[in-house]
Copies of this chain bind each other. A is one copy, B any other.
Amino acid sequence: MTSSSKLLFWLVGQAASLRRVVELAFGRLAKPPQVDNLPHISILLFALATATAAPNLMPWPSKLVQNEGVLAIDADFAIDTTTCADPRVHHAIERLTTRLIRQTGLAMGIKPAAHSTLVVQCSSGADSPSLNDDESYRLDVTPQQAHLTAAAPAGILHGLETFAQLVVAGQTGFEAPAVRIEDRPRFVWRGLMIDVSRHWMPVSVIERNLDAMAAVKMNVFHWHLTDDQGFRVESKKFPRLHQFGSDGHYYTQAEIRGILNFARERGIRVVPEFDMPGHATSWVTGMPELATAPGPYQIERSWGVFAPLLDPTRESTYVFLDAFIGEMAALFPDPFFHIGGDEVDDTQWKNSPRVQAFSREHGIRTSVALHAYFNGRVSALVKKHGKIMIGWDEVLRPGLSKDTVIQSWRGQESLAEAARQGYRGVLSFGYYLDYLKPASFHYANDPLSGQAGQLTNQQASLILGGEACMWTEYMNFETVDSRIWPRAAAIAERLWSPRDTTNIDSMYSRLEAVSAVLDRLGLRHRSHEDLILNVMAGDRPAQPLRILADAVEALGIVGRRDVRHYTSLVPLNRLVDAAQPESQQIRELEQAAIHGRYPELKVAFTQWTVNRALVASLAGNDFLVSELLPLAADLSTVGSIGLSALKYLEQDQTVPEKWIADQRKTLAGIDTAKLEVSPAAVRPVGLLLDILERKSSQPTAAGPASAGGVKP
């Protein structure tokens, strides 16, 4: 063995504890993918030699070199934009300054600065963001000055967000680490869809989510404006659409123009979606003449796929669509125009003698073919008004115009199939946020994986990127932020960063940081919790409910849809709505269990055991709290098991196998969904039992424990 391979061998053996040393020493590692792929000894030695932590950037840049030293961010902070004419850049710099003032508390920009902290250089670019924008930028931070350069304003906007993420509190004040970043996105289409139909989302919700998108370099806002439950856009040509289809909750055209400008300023394209011919109940509420069956129709309050379908056989339908698409094409400047096209329940078509006669006449044999006929007509209208059509999977049928973009909710297979046929595509399968799956699940979902991984380069280049989708059956304006963020940031990274940026621990640690950035930006993904819990606590201190909420994880659509009869009128004000999809506290406790930080665990477990009585004292006559009592009892049990396990561990004594088996049984009994949340608290306790089990299979120096063991 050479001495270096000996060191390597030793390092591999020590991996677990070395990892801990490195973690302790540096907090977080530079580009940690390599850390999991031990033995990448050179990286480790580099990490040990570098005395500073890697910055918490998300998405992680294509290329980052960390240098010695830091750039001080103090009250003299100033930005030189003399070479930049673009007004968007100037506005972005104003916003950055406001954010830095908020973060640092420093009174920036009051005294004239002798020296610029950040020099921004760019050429002008197109007025509106487009698919062809050069989004690359280069950011050099030295202890003296930072330089941000880009070919176009889009790159500058991204670089400013990177700069904002670099600013942290250092040894003597705020600072940005010396780094050299060269960055460009992997995919050109990095989207977020928000469904504003099933639950109404006011303008302020849209605006703050656009702010958040910009912070993580997402560049397409897909606005799902119509569905069975609401028609959310003002039509001046057909006012009955929004007047009868929205309960008064729609965006005026003035508001839409405001939002479009807000997005444009942040380098975000806006793709509107008008879902047809299905998901169209809200269209036909005010205009029943568009439907296949006569009506009358009411705004839908339930969730699912519903009967109303636009009539594809009447010419009047296309006369209407021509005018309507024309009006909307003029309102929304982006070249892409989404016509939905998903989930057509063909009952109305099958039951209509007129539709059946039309189909026979035109040699259309199936409902699928009739849908394709409708899409073809709509596609022509979209093209007539100067737009490119985009639709969900189902629109991919023989004869579809080749410039159409396919948005896949079915999987990489259908995306690959589209690409092989020469269609461009955007992946949404695996990015459905409403399932409330862990960020790691979405993070592992690559647009070019699975069958898409088999495509030729030419075909692969047709896959434009992906879109996170926020369907809002179980979210309203108050909770939606917490269902999008911070998890969508992991998707943003998947779509921006190099393909090999895949380390889960690194992702989670940077996700926490970006979550704090979003909190400062005004997102409500954290603060909504208190609003709901305070109401539940009936104005008494809500702390016991917060302990409960932090110990569970909210279930998504699968865990909710059959539990209660939900409609758009059912309030979303329960524990499940306050709880997060992923509990940060539980994640930390799992880390504490793995790394043997027992005191932290002890505090949490004690809190859980005591909390039962506190929740009971809050319950009183309050129906919202009373239903939580069984959950509080479970949590108390979990806490007790955890405390017992800790006692065994602290006393370093072997544990009777039966005791472990009994506890596992108890935990398994508790580990089922209740009140639409899952009891995440069992996880760290389960980890402790794992550790005890491993120990009990290796007799200690003191020999095996006596029968019955210690009583913890």
Contact = CB atoms under 8 A, between A and B. Distances in A.
Interface of A: 24, 27, 52-53, 56, 75, 102-107, 110, 168-173, 247, 476, 478, 512-513, 516-517, 519-520, 526-527, 530-531, 534-543, 568-569, 571-573, 577, 584-585, 588, 599-600, 602-603, 606-607, 610, 613-614, 617, 620-626
Contact of A107 (B516, B535, B541, B568): B568
Contacts of A625: 169
A107 B625 CA distance: 21
A80 to B, nearest CB: 19
B539 A588 contact: no
A188 B250 CA distance: 42
A535 B572 contact: no
A539 B527 contact: no
Nearest to A536: B169
Nearest to A476: B105
A103 to B, nearest CB: 5
Those 6 A-B pairs whose CB atoms lie nearest each other, nearest first: A105-B571, A105-B573, A513-B539, A107-B569, A599-B610, A516-B534
Nearest to A111: B569
A539 B569 contact: no
Contacts of A585: 543
A168 B619 CA distance: 13
Number of copies of chain A assembled together: 2
B610 A603 contact: yes
A24 B613 CA distance: 13
A245 to B, nearest CB: 13
A110 B248 CA distance: 9
Nearest to A620: B27
A171 B513 CA distance: 41
Contacts of A476: 105
A690 to B, nearest CB: 23
A617 B103 CA distance: 22
A531 B519 contact: yes
A58 to B, nearest CB: 10
Nearest to A249: B110
B512 A519 contact: no
Given A539-B512, A572-B105, A606 B602 contact: yes
Given A103-B535, A534-B519, A573-B104, A614 B588 contact: no
Nearest to A514: B539
30 contacts: A24-B617, A27-B620, A56-B539, A75-B569, A102-B531, A110-B247, A168-B538, A168-B539, A168-B622, A169-B536, A169-B624, A169-B625, A170-B621, A170-B622, A516-B534, A516-B535, A516-B537, A516-B542, A517-B539, A519-B534, A520-B534, A520-B535, A541-B584, A599-B610, A599-B613, A600-B614, A602-B610, A603-B607, A606-B606, A607-B607
A313 B186 CA distance: 72
Contacts of A626: 171
Contacts of A169: 535-536, 538, 622-625
A607 B476 CA distance: 35
